[in-house]
Amino acid sequence: MNLPNMQEARLRTDALVEVIEAKNIKSDRFKNKKYFIRTYGCQMNVHDSEEIKGILENLGFKETLEVQDADLVVLNTCAIRENAHDKVFGFLGRLKHLKKDKPDLIICVGGCMPQEESVANLLKEKYPFVNIVFGTHNINDLGTLILEESKKQLIEVYSIEGNVYEHMDYVRDSKFTAWVNIMYGCDKFCTYCIVPFTRGKQRSRKMAEIIKEVEKLKEEGYLEVTLLGQNVNAYGKDLDSDYDFATLLENVAKTGIKRVRFVTSHPWDFTDEMINVIAGFENIMPYIHLPLQSGSSKILKLMGRRYTQEEYIALYNKIKSKIKNVSITTDIIVGFPNETDEDFAETLKVVNECKFDGAFTFIYSPREGTPASKIKDTIPLEVKEQRLYKLNELINSYSLEHNKKYIGKTEEVLVLGPSEKGEDKVYGYTKTMKLVNVSNAKDDIGKLILVYITDAKSFSLDGEKVIFAKN
């Protein structure tokens, strides 16, 4: 067993990153078997699950959406906040019962949670019915672990920083829009965040490999790619090369794929070159997710975010003025240790000034091993909940205000699938990443269409496909 050590992770030096060809082991041993996968957390995990599905299908498994029909279950976990943990342990309780009736069921727990020493130990001691425990750095080994699976619990969580794997077989969730990893890990070490520990140090993929992947996706008919990384605009800083994120973005746009997106950007690394490239290419979507985290410069300093309130607002205004019709969303944490009412008022002030298109908002959750978890937290939960409620009300009012401006306009929408809002509707996204439920477009899944916007809510738009009269 190889467990991560938080202290070691923080003290690490620049270990050499290796680029490794993915294993893609093929076997028909599990030809008539089914797998069930549940993914928690961010887009990175969603894309990791596409890799896990590739591994399982190469071994012969087929996917089932019903857990009780599965012969193998994978939980791809998230560690970002405590409630993510709770959900996984809750589901493991259900699986324990299922396994009583189905003793051969193979249960695998992977992703960010097992990268935490305490979780890996807990799984070993209290959850012996879990067969395989793997981390974020060794997904590539999952196939081997399953083939080796014995009655004894297998725990393989690497403490090393992780390498870069190329040419993996993915089973992608969509045929029209694809995630493309451009980097792994994060070197920012924001004081509240567990990601640098669970995902390791920053490792960028080589630009040529990324471009090859995008070109292949385009050939396969994909219309959109989203470049993925914890900190995309720090791309390339760890490579011995002269290119950065702006160069990469430009080259991805030049492949001619219809839509290019990227998440997530850090304000610290947001360069003028990047803004110019986004503004200069029609196929780079005018949508930026730019986490604020707090509006108080005092709290930002405690968070290790490397910018002040004024610097964030200046960057925000620059992006708004240079990129036509850009929409900007953000992440905000309330209740960071020592956040006073005045600090929270500063957050509201920034929200009132920036009027974000939307935001993901969170109550601070102490993560074991992070510097912030050592700061005494004196704010009562009730106060944190009130702050979150107030913040959400404000955020939602601005989202609605932005969305209402779309009523009566015609927008290009990439239609992704059937809508939850009624059988006759489909859903898709505008260039600015607004969710639209569209009527009379049932045959347009996988297409870019023009949609006339008829109504707006805080989280979505309604619209009708624009049909041009034939002359």
Q: Which is nearer to ligand 5AD, 79 or 461 (CB)?
A: 79
Shortest distance in whole angstroms from residue 269 CB to ligand 5AD: 14
* Shortest Å, Cβ 237 to ligand SF4: 13
Q: Shortest distance, CB of residue 37 to ligand 5AD, whole angstroms? A: 21
Nearer Cβ to ligand 5AD (222/316): 316
Q: Which of ligand SF4, ligand 5AD, none lies near 182, with the C-beta cut-off 5 to 8 A by kind? A: none
**CB 33: neighbour CB atoms within 10 A?**
17
Nearer to ligand 5AD, 109 or 359 (CB): 359
Of 255 and 293, which has the nearer Cβ to ligand 5AD?
293
Instruction: Return the one option of ligand SF4, ligand 5AD, none that residue 80 interacts with (CB less than 5 to 8 A, by type).
Output: ligand 5AD
Residue 449: which of ligand 5AD, ligand SF4, none does it interact with, CB under 5 to 8 A by kind? none
Residue 172 partner contact from ligand SF4, ligand 5AD, none using kind-dependent CB cut-offs of 5 to 8 Å = none
In the complex with ligand 5AD, the residue whose CB is nearer, 287 or 362, is 362
Binding partner of residue 454 among ligand 5AD, ligand SF4, none, CB under 5 to 8 Å per kind?
none
Q: Smallest gap, in angstroms, from Cβ of residue 304 to ligand SF4?
A: 8
CB atoms within 10 A of CB 308: 14
Q: Binding partner of residue 367 among ligand SF4, ligand 5AD, none, CB under 5 to 8 Å per kind? A: ligand 5AD
> Quick one: 87 or 306, whose CB is closer to ligand SF4?
306
Least distance between ligand SF4 and beta carbon 231 (Å)? 5
Q: Which is nearer to ligand SF4, 149 or 187 (CB)?
A: 187
CB of 234 to ligand SF4, least distance (A): 8
Tell me the closest approach of the beta carbon of residue 196 to ligand 5AD, in angstroms.
Answer: 11
Burial class (CB in 10 A: 0-12, 13-18, 19+), 233: buried
Report which residue's Cβ sits closest to ligand 5AD: 331
- Max CA-CA distance within the chain? 73
Residue 259 binds which of ligand SF4, ligand 5AD, none (CB < 5-8 A, kind-dependent): none
Q: In what order do the strands lie in the sheet with 154-156?
A: 62-63, 34-39, 72-77, 106-111, 132-134, 154-156
User: CA 5, CA 3: separation in Å to the nearest integer?
Assistant: 7
**CA 454 – CA 20 distance, rounded (Å):** 50
CB 344, min distance to ligand 5AD, A: 15
- Check whether the bond before 432 is cis (ω within 30° of 0): no
> Which of ligand 5AD, ligand SF4, none does 135 bind, CB closer than 5 to 8 A by kind?
none
327 binds, among ligand 5AD, ligand SF4, none (CB under 5 to 8 A by kind): none
Q: Which is nearer to ligand SF4, 235 or 427 (CB)?
A: 235
Least CB distance to ligand 5AD at residue 1 (A): 27
Residue 28, judged by CB atoms within 10 A of its CB (0-12, 13-18, 19+), counts as exposed
Handedness of CA 433, 435, 437, 441 (dihedral sign): positive
Binding-site ranges for ligand SF4 (CB under 6 A): 186, 188-190, 193, 195-196, 230-231, 266
Q: Which residues contact 348 (CB under 8 A, 6 or more apart)?
A: 295, 390, 391, 394
* Site residues (vs ligand 5AD, CB under 6 A): 80-81, 192-193, 291, 293, 331, 333, 362, 364-365, 367
- Binding partner selected for residue 364 from ligand SF4, ligand 5AD, none, CB under the kind-specific 5 to 8 Å limit: ligand 5AD
User: Closest CB to ligand SF4 among 370 and 403?
Assistant: 370
Q: Which does 365 bind (CB under 5 to 8 A by kind): ligand SF4, ligand 5AD, none?
A: ligand 5AD
Closest Cα to residue 301, out of 372, 370, 230? Answer: 372
Of the two residues 186 and 284, which places its CB atom closer to ligand SF4 in the complex? 186
Nearer Cβ to ligand SF4 (188/206): 188
CB of 357 to ligand 5AD, least distance (A): 16
Q: How far is the CB of 413 from ligand 5AD (least distance, A)?
A: 26
